[in-house]
Chains A and B, each alone.
Chain A
Amino acid sequence: MSTATPVRTAKDGYGRPSQGVPHAPGGPAGGGLFDPGQLMKALPEALRKLDPRVMVKSPVMFVVEVGSVLTTVLAVAHPGDWFGWVIAVWLWLTVLFANLAEAVAEGRGKAQAATLRKAKTDSVARRLTAEGEEAVPGAELRVGDRVVCEAGDLVPGDGDVVEGVASVDESAITGESAPVIRESGGDRSAVTGGTKVLSDRVVIRITTKPGDTFIDRMIALVEGAARQKTPNEIALNILLASLTIVFTLAVVTLQPFAVYAGAEQSLTVLTALLVCLIPTTIGALLSAIGIAGMDRLVQRNVLATSGRAVEAAGDVSTLLLDKTGTITLGDRQAAAFVPVSGATEAALADAAQLSSLADETPEGRSVVVLAKEKYGLRERHEGELAHAEWVPFTAQTRMSGVDIEGPGGLKVRKGAAGSVCAWVKERGGLAGDEVHGLTDGISQSGGTPLLVGVEDADGARVLGVIHLKDVVKEGMSERFDELRRMGIKTVMITGDNPLTAQAIAEEAGVDDFLAEATPEDKMALIKREQAGGRLVAMTGDGTNDAPALAQADVGVAMNTGTSAAKEAGNMVDLDSDPTKLIEIVEIGKQLLITRGALTTFSIANDVAKYFAIIPAMFAVAYPGLDALNIMRLASPESAILSAVVFNALIIAALVPLALRGVRYRPLSADRMLRRNLAVYGLGGLVAPFIGIKLIDVLITLIPGVG
Chain B
Amino acid sequence: MSPILADVLQLIALIGALALVHRPLGDYMAAVYSSKRHLRVEKWIYRCVGANPAAEMRWPAYLRAVLAFSAVGVLFLYAMQRLQDKLPMSLGFKPIDPDQAFNTAASFVSNTNWQSYAGESAMGHLTQMTGLAVQNFVSAAVGIAVAVALVRGFARSRTGELGNFWSDLVRGVVRILLPIAFVSAILLVAAGAVQNFAGMHEVHTLSGSAQHLPGGPVASQEAVKELGTNGGGFFNANSSHPYENPNGFSNLLEIFLILLIPFSLTRTFGKMVGSVRQGYAILAAMGAIWLAAVVVVTVSEYAHPGTAAQLAGGAMEGKEQRFGEGSSSLFAVSTTMTSTGAVNSFHDSFTAFGGGVTLLGMMLGEIAPGGVGSGLYGMLVMAVVAVFLSGLMVGRTPEYLGKKIGTRQIKFAACYILVTPALVLGGTALAMALPDGKEAMTNIGAHGFSEVLYAYTSGSNNNGSAFAGFGADTPFFNTTIGLCMLLGRFLPMVFVLALAGSLAEQTPVPATAGTLRTEKPLFTGVLVGCVLIVTGLTFFPALALGPLAEGLS
A534 at the interface (CB under 8 A from B): yes
Query: Which residues of chain A are near B529, meaning CB under 8 Å?
Result: 681
Query: Which residues of chain B are near A489, meaning CB under 8 Å?
Result: 512
Is the pair B516, A669 in contact by a Cβ cutoff of 8 Å? yes
| Bound: A590/B407 CA distance, A | 20
Query: Which residues of chain A are near B385, meaning CB under 8 Å?
Result: 239
Is the pair B513, A258 in contact by a Cβ cutoff of 8 Å? no
The B interface is mostly helix, strand or loop, or mixed, namely: helix
User: Contacts A533-B507, A533-B509, A600-B393; is A669 near B414 (CB within 8 Å)?
Assistant: no
Q: Among residues 399 to 427 in chain B, which have CB atoms less than 8 Å away from a CB atom of chain A?
A: 402, 405-407, 409-411, 414-415, 417-418, 421-422, 425-426
Mask: chain B, 533-553; 1 = CB below 8 Å from A; 0 = not: 110011111101100111111
User: Contacts A239-B388, A250-B425; is A315 near B396 (CB within 8 Å)?
Assistant: yes
Is the pair B425, A258 in contact by a Cβ cutoff of 8 Å? no
Query: Which residues of chain A are near B312, meaning CB under 8 Å?
Result: none
Report the minimum CB–CB distance from B94 to chain A (whole Å).
36
Is the pair A253, B429 in contact by a Cβ cutoff of 8 Å? yes
B392 at the interface (CB under 8 A from A): yes
Is the pair B393, A486 in contact by a Cβ cutoff of 8 Å? no
Query: Which residues of chain B are near A246, meaning CB under 8 Å?
Result: 417-418, 421, 538
Is the pair A606, B414 in contact by a Cβ cutoff of 8 Å? no
Q: Which of A231, A614, A627 contacts B540 (CB 8 A)?
A: A614
Is the pair A231, B395 in contact by a Cβ cutoff of 8 Å? no
User: Contacts A234-B407, A261-B545, A610-B537; is A488 near B418 (CB within 8 Å)?
Assistant: no
Q: Among residues 450 to 508 in chain A, which have CB atoms less than 8 Å away from a CB atom of chain B?
A: 484-489
Query: Which residues of chain B are near A311, meaning CB under 8 Å?
Result: 397
Is the pair A277, B537 in contact by a Cβ cutoff of 8 Å? yes
Q: Which of A144-152, A618-626, A652-660 contacts B (4 or more CB under 8 A)?
A: A618-626
| Bound: A255/B509 CA distance, A | 47
Is the pair B446, A622 in contact by a Cβ cutoff of 8 Å? yes
Query: Which residues of chain A are near B418, meaning CB under 8 Å?
Result: 242, 245-246
User: Contacts A242-B417, A624-B551, A669-B515; is A257 near B542 (CB within 8 Å)?
Assistant: yes
A83 at the interface (CB under 8 A from B): no
Is the pair B544, A618 in contact by a Cβ cutoff of 8 Å? yes
Closest to A600 in B: B389
Closest to B352 in A: A624
B370 at the interface (CB under 8 A from A): no
Range class of the B interface residue count: 35 or more
Q: Considering residues B410, B422, B534, B549, which has the most beta carbons from chain A within 10 angstroms of its beta carbon?
A: B549
Is the pair B414, A242 in contact by a Cβ cutoff of 8 Å? yes
A564 at the interface (CB under 8 A from B): no
Q: Which of A95-103, A192-200, A413-421, A670-678 contacts B (4 or more CB under 8 A)?
A: A670-678
Is the pair A625, B514 in contact by a Cβ cutoff of 8 Å? no
B492 at the interface (CB under 8 A from A): no
A247 at the interface (CB under 8 A from B): yes
| Bound: A618/B414 CA distance, A | 30
Is the pair A599, B389 in contact by a Cβ cutoff of 8 Å? yes
Query: Which residues of chain B are near A595, meaning CB under 8 Å?
Result: 392
A517 at the interface (CB under 8 A from B): no
Query: Which residues of chain A are near B417, meaning CB under 8 Å?
Result: 242, 246
A628 at the interface (CB under 8 A from B): yes
Is the pair B541, A592 in contact by a Cβ cutoff of 8 Å? no
Mask: chain A, 298-337; 1 = CB below 8 Å from B; 0 = not: 0000000000000100110100000000000000000000
Query: Which residues of chain B are near A242, meaning CB under 8 Å?
Result: 414-415, 417-418
Query: Which residues of chain B are near A606, meaning CB under 8 Å?
Result: 533, 537
Is the pair A235, B388 in contact by a Cβ cutoff of 8 Å? yes
Query: Which residues of chain A are near B438, meaning CB under 8 Å?
Result: 260
Query: Which residues of chain B are near A599, meaning CB under 8 Å?
Result: 389, 392
Query: Which residues of chain A are near B552, meaning CB under 8 Å?
Result: 622, 624-625, 627-628
Is the pair B432, A256 in contact by a Cβ cutoff of 8 Å? yes
Report the minimum CB–CB distance from B488 to chain A (whole Å).
15
Closest to B426 in A: A253
| Bound: A487/B512 CA distance, A | 5
A232 at the interface (CB under 8 A from B): yes
Closest to A240 in B: B414
Is the pair B537, A261 in contact by a Cβ cutoff of 8 Å? no
A597 at the interface (CB under 8 A from B): yes
Query: Which residues of chain A are near B534, meaning CB under 8 Å?
Result: 243, 603
Query: Which residues of chain B are near A485, meaning CB under 8 Å?
Result: 513
Query: Which residues of chain B are near A624, meaning CB under 8 Å?
Result: 548-553
Is the pair B446, A317 in contact by a Cβ cutoff of 8 Å? no
Query: Which residues of chain A are near B208, meaning CB under 8 Å?
Result: none
B520 at the interface (CB under 8 A from A): yes
Is the pair A672, B425 in contact by a Cβ cutoff of 8 Å? no
**When A and B form their complex, which 5 residue pairs have the shortest distance between CB atoms, in order from nearest?**
A487-B514, A596-B392, A487-B512, A589-B395, A624-B552
Q: List 13 extra interface pairs beyond A235-B411, A600-B393, A668-B514, CB under 8 A.
A: A238-B411, A243-B534, A246-B538, A250-B537, A254-B541, A256-B428, A259-B433, A314-B395, A590-B395, A596-B392, A599-B389, A625-B548, A669-B517
8 pairs of residues in contact across A and B, judged by CB atoms under 8 Å: A238-B410, A238-B411, A486-B514, A487-B515, A593-B395, A618-B544, A625-B544, A669-B516
